Chain A
């Protein structure tokens, strides 16, 4: 399936990317799977998205947990814990 992936703040900077359209393999079914799949790219991806790193995710503009299932056409965003206000 195809999804759009967005990166914000420090994550966007270390990955050197703010947005991409990705075609996911069948094995990537949840937001957590997607994070692991992206970390599998190695380098800055592996470091920034490593398990234990504080990374938050949103699916279609709502904050979600790693177990959240993905659907084709989703917009998924990864970002550090928010610091507004």
Chain B
């Protein structure tokens, strides 16, 4: 199972153990995204993640496939949570295992940059001023264009 979209939390250590079990693996790079307690200057009490069931899984699988076309990797694991999360909660896990670190670092960053701009998730924050949808960042689109120009 490469891709999971779930409400429940995940155990990063357990996920790494699975990636590490392959004896031809020499490098594992992981990314974990968590809920920040401040965004745009306001305290964030909680955050609710909405997604597009059916499309989300396909979009994530497509991103992983593209990473595997670009780099030689042993295994990739992506977990993204949905539903209501609080400060310090884990949101997303990306784990990439391969023979050498260079490919794993690049692939992990590539997957996150594509996930940020191509996977149908939306965050809504609860702050002291009420609820608000998180706005997409221009810097995320720029990160994507870097890969499209082949500068990654």
**A interface vs B, CB < 8 Å?**
6, 8-10, 54, 58, 61-63, 77, 79-85
Write the nearest CB–CB distance from A5 to chain B, whole angstroms.
13
The CA-CA distance from A79 to B54 in the complex, in Å, is 15
State which of B19-27, B69-77, B99-107, B119-127 sits at the interface with chain A: B119-127
Residue numbers in A under 8 Å from B52 (CB-CB): 6, 8, 58, 61, 77, 79
The smallest beta-carbon distance between B152 and chain A, in angstroms, is 17
Q: A85-B33, A85-B115 are in contact. Are A9 and B133 (CB under 8 A)?
A: yes
B55 lies within 8 A of A81 (CB): no
Contact indicator A85/B118 (Cβ below 8 Å): no
Chain B residue total in the interface (Cβ 8 A): 27
The chain B residues found within 8 Å of chain A, CB to CB, are: 33, 49-52, 54-55, 58-59, 80, 91-92, 112, 115-124, 133-136
When chains A and B are docked, how far (Å) is the Cα of A83 from the Cα of B112?
A: 12
Q: Is the interface of B mostly helix, strand, loop or mixed?
A: mixed
**Nearest residue in B to A6 (C-beta to C-beta)?**
B52
Residue in chain A with minimal CB distance to B111? A85
Q: Which 4 A-B pairs have the closest CB atoms?
A: A84-B121, A81-B136, A9-B122, A61-B55
How near does chain B come to A16, taking the closest CB pair, in angstroms? 15
Question: What are 28 of the A-B contact pairs (CB < 8 Å)?
Answer: A6-B52, A8-B50, A8-B122, A9-B50, A9-B133, A54-B136, A58-B52, A58-B120, A61-B54, A77-B52, A77-B120, A79-B52, A79-B120, A81-B135, A82-B121, A82-B122, A82-B136, A83-B116, A83-B134, A83-B135, A83-B136, A84-B92, A84-B115, A84-B121, A85-B80, A85-B112, A85-B116, A85-B121
